Amino acid sequence: MEHETILKNCPSCRLEKPSEAFGKDSRTSTGLRSYCKKCSSKNGKKNRERNAARETVYTPDFKYCPGCKIDKYKSEFNRSKSGATGLTSYCKKCNTLHHREFRYGVSKDWIENTLILQEGKCAICGFRPAPNDKDLCIDHNHKTNKVRGMLCCSCNKGIGSLKESNEILQNAIAYLNKHKEQ
């Protein structure tokens, strides 16, 4: 099967070129990158040179977290290319709380109360995270965006994989029961 050659303008060199001169990109309507391969290569080289010439960012051993209001070791912060210190403004814990509040509309109090009600465990399988484990996930209905509770990552992904469908879940239960002895 032959591919049809399309002529396309490169916004950098402003030349009309055949589609073979452009890299592939499945996210665009044409299936091609915006800039031709030659211009992309030139721009990439310029960016690499500019980044290499940048000063090295000094990362302090300790940093103040305005959320916790204490100094913490640098490993408790995520890296950031935009920050002067090379670290995010808030520690990982405070960043997670902020993200959960922004994305799901839940407060630190809601999380703490839910964990108390769930005895610190996943609402489905009962997994209780140890101090070095990942925190429980906020579970929400993808259609209504309403928050339901807190689950371990496996249970949260499982519900998503089953498309939040009671019917599919019942089919899975029937399937497991049918093949219990195997």
25 and 43 together in one domain: yes
Kindly state whether residue 126 falls inside one of the protein's structural domains: yes
Domains held by the chain: number: 3
114 and 177 together in one domain: yes
Cβ-contact 106, 135 below 8 angstroms: no
Q: Which residue spans within the chain are E strands per DSSP?
A: 7-9, 16-18, 22-24, 32-36, 62-65, 70-73, 77-79, 87-91, 137-140, 147-151
96 and 163 together in one domain: no
83 and 96 together in one domain: yes
CATH of the domain at 83: 3.30.60
Each residue's pLDDT tens digit, 96-144: 998 999 889 999 999 999 999 999 999 999 999 998 888 999 999 988 8
Kindly state whether residue 2 falls inside one of the protein's structural domains: no
- Specify the DSSP class assigned to residue 124: T
38-44: average pLDDT: 93
**In a 3-state reduction of DSSP, which class is residue 134?**
coil
User: What pLDDT score was predicted for residue 1?
Assistant: 42
94 and 111 together in one domain: no
- Length, in residues, of the chain: 182
64 and 124 together in one domain: no
Give the domain range for residue 95: 58-102
User: What pLDDT score was predicted for residue 3?
Assistant: 58
40 and 68 together in one domain: no
176 and 150 together in one domain: yes
User: What pLDDT score was predicted for residue 175?
Assistant: 95
Kindly state whether residue 38 falls inside one of the protein's structural domains: yes
